[in-house]
Structure 1
Amino acid sequence: MENEEIQILAPWGKIAGKLWGNPDDTPVLAVHGIMDNAGGFDKLIPLLPKYFYICIDLPGHGRSDHFPQSLPIFTVNYILTYVLTMNYFKKDKYIIIGHSYGGQLGTLVARMYPERVEKLVLLDTIHYFTTPSQMYLDDIRDKFTEYFSSEKKKKVTGPPRYTYEEILSKVIQLRRNPLTRSAAENLLKRSLILLDDGKYYLSTDQRLKYVINPKHDSRYAIESLQKHPIQCPVLIILGQENVAQRYILRPILNYLKKQKNVTVKYVQGTHDVHQVDPERVAPLINKFLITKKSKL
């Protein structure tokens, strides 16, 4: 399946991405996790049905421009990116495939704009991480501390600079479960910037290290899901090796499992299984996409 680059104008700059397939086919908006980019779907898309795949780089990732500087990033701002992209292609409804952070955002979009989302696929994600009520203010204060520290350091030293092999090694190793070399290179293709001295730095926005999520606990999250449920069919695929996420979000996962429109499947693999072993998740996604009622 051939692909091409796309740029969508936004109030703060451009949203970059890759398009796969024929624009006349069913539109699928695929969104990566935090600190990744559209290259994270390069191995998976060729294994999926011949639909029209819109793989974007979220602001501050890959080839997309950053959100305006000087303020921390708030999660809900990213919803603007989904809406702008959907408006640009002028389709009535979209299937959303989201990995990690991209899936957490996709869930919010599906709940806010149910009339625009046909199906939702969540790759090793359930919900953004909740915060116990007694930790709300401490958590936000910690994020502000990181923000001030990072801004001060950035003015003095600028972004970190690496050789290609150094930066490749970091992308592979700086995860709970390492990526393969080829998966890491798919990400670097969209985020490396070459300097005059032959070294590289990443285009990734350093503010992503302290993104501020909505602050509420599991009880509130479930009440919110009850009030504003996900109305479309949902497929959640979880890597069996990512135990921490399922433990922290167990109440929300248990609630979602009880919903008639939600299917939860487990595959052998890590948080990035769709990049490392895409053949493990592709059959589940394919069946979900082509089945009319989409209940596996």
Structure 2
Amino acid sequence: MTLTSREVRFSLPSLEVAGKVWGEPGGIPVIGLHGWLDNAATFDHIAPALKGVQLVALDLPGHGLSDHLPMAGYSLWQQASTVLQVAEDLGWERFALLGHSMGAIISGILTGSLPERIIGAAMIDGLMPFTSEPDDAPRQMARFFTSSLAVGNKRKPVYDSVEKAISARVLGGTTSIAREAASSLVERGLMPDHGGWTWRTDPQLMLPSPLRFTNKHAESFIEAISSPAMLVLANQGVMHEHPQVLDRIERFKHIQLHKMDGGHHLHLEAQAPDVAALLNDFYAALPKVDSSAP
């Protein structure tokens, strides 16, 4: 795989989606999916080390350089549908996935739903979404309604330098992240504003979900996975804050599980070479399919 990436844009029926491409046609076609509030740069440190694949890493809608969606447009299934639209645009009937965090959850949903299209899914510190039970649905919807009314009144912060934006990401993120790792994500996620810099990210992404899967819903997608699947679990990652989720992960014997010391963004930090080595072994074992250049 080439050390440098190139930019790509997909003109889908309802929006434009941006991305980064590593590798050339002929390798295993892989679509990369980043985590919540991140972007395609999440794979900058591991993509150059991948062998025999063509990686198309997306800025999912509302993130990075991609278009935003209308109100209430963001859901796991909507984002998954966008991935399929990109695959159609690429001419990829069958392809593999590489997902981190939210992107890993979307990968699990797609792989469980469409085994005939997904030849394999590698997931990094993410597998199942936050869940709630039916009795909580009215309260969850109320939280969404209340927050959506206020979202238009909130102003994005403006930083007078990119360095200050990076510091804000390091200090104010929902998970810990090294400065070098944050730099890759921040520089793709900023836009000029009033002589400074502010986030490109759609503020709607901060809204609570109007609906959540139940535990059974979430488990059903993972149990339905029949293609090869692998999870790299960060020993100091976000899932260790939810012991009940870890217990469920241990029960999914059909998912290759690799535990590794590191935080939630370990693929962007010091552990990136070790993560890339696991990914190379995983993708090398997948059946070969032809890919077309985006």
TM-score (normalizing by structure 1)? 0.88
* Cα displacement string for residues 152-171 of structure 1 (whole angstroms, at most 9, x for unaligned residues): x14xxx43211223211111
Q: Report the counterpart of residue 172 of structure 1 in structure 2.
A: 170
Measured after TM superposition, the shift of residue 108 of structure 1 is: 1.1
Distance 1:119 1:173, change over 3 A: same
Give the secondary structure class of the aligned counterpart of 2:248.
Answer: helix
**2:9 counterpart of 1:7:** yes
Q: Is the 8 A contact 1:75 1:214 kept in 2?
A: no
* Distance in structure 1 (CA, Å) of the matches to 2:174 and 2:240: 11
Distance 1:178 1:269, change over 3 A: same
Measured after TM superposition, the shift of residue 75 of structure 1 is: 2.4
Q: Is the 8 A contact 2:141 2:210 kept in 1?
A: no
Measured after TM superposition, the shift of residue 148 of structure 1 is: 1.2
Distance 1:177 1:251, change over 3 A: closer
Give the secondary structure class of the aligned counterpart of 1:17.
Answer: strand
Measured after TM superposition, the shift of residue 282 of structure 1 is: 1.5
Q: Report the counterpart of residue 52 of structure 2 in structure 1.
A: 50
Q: Report the counterpart of residue 204 of structure 1 in structure 2.
A: 201
Distance 1:37 1:250, change over 3 A: same
1:279 counterpart letter in structure 2: P
**2:240 counterpart of 1:239:** no
1:223-234, aligned counterparts within 5 Å? Answer: 223=220, 225-226=222-223, 229-234=224-229
Q: Is the 8 A contact 1:6 1:16 kept in 2?
A: yes
Q: Is the 8 A contact 2:64 2:201 kept in 1?
A: yes
Q: Report the counterpart of residue 19 of structure 1 in structure 2.
A: 21
Q: Report the counterpart of residue 115 of structure 2 in structure 1.
A: 114
Number of aligned residue pairs: 282
**2:33 counterpart of 1:37:** no
2:92 counterpart letter in structure 1: K
Q: Report the counterpart of residue 221 of structure 1 in structure 2.
A: 218
TM-score (normalizing by structure 2)? 0.89
Give the secondary structure class of the aligned counterpart of 1:249.
Answer: helix
- Runs of 4 or more consecutive aligned structure 1 residues displaced over 4 Å after TM superposition: 223-226
Give the secondary structure class of the aligned counterpart of 1:266.
Answer: strand
* Distance in structure 2 (CA, Å) of the matches to 1:110 and 1:292: 14
* Greater shift in the superposed pair: 175-184 or 30-39: 175-184
The gaps in structure 2 that reach 5 residues or longer are 288-294
* Distance in structure 2 (CA, Å) of the matches to 1:171 and 1:254: 32
Percent identity over paired residues: 25
Give the secondary structure class of the aligned counterpart of 2:116.
Answer: helix
2:191 counterpart letter in structure 1: I
Measured after TM superposition, the shift of residue 291 of structure 1 is: 2.4
Q: Report the counterpart of residue 274 of structure 2 in structure 1.
A: 280
* Greater shift in the superposed pair: 5-14 or 239-248: 239-248
Alignment equivalent of 2:158, drawn from 139, 149, 161: 161
* Distance in structure 2 (CA, Å) of the matches to 1:108 and 1:17: 21
RMSD: 2.0
Higher relative contact order, chain-length normalized (CA < 8 Å, sep 6+): 2
Measured after TM superposition, the shift of residue 241 of structure 1 is: 0.8
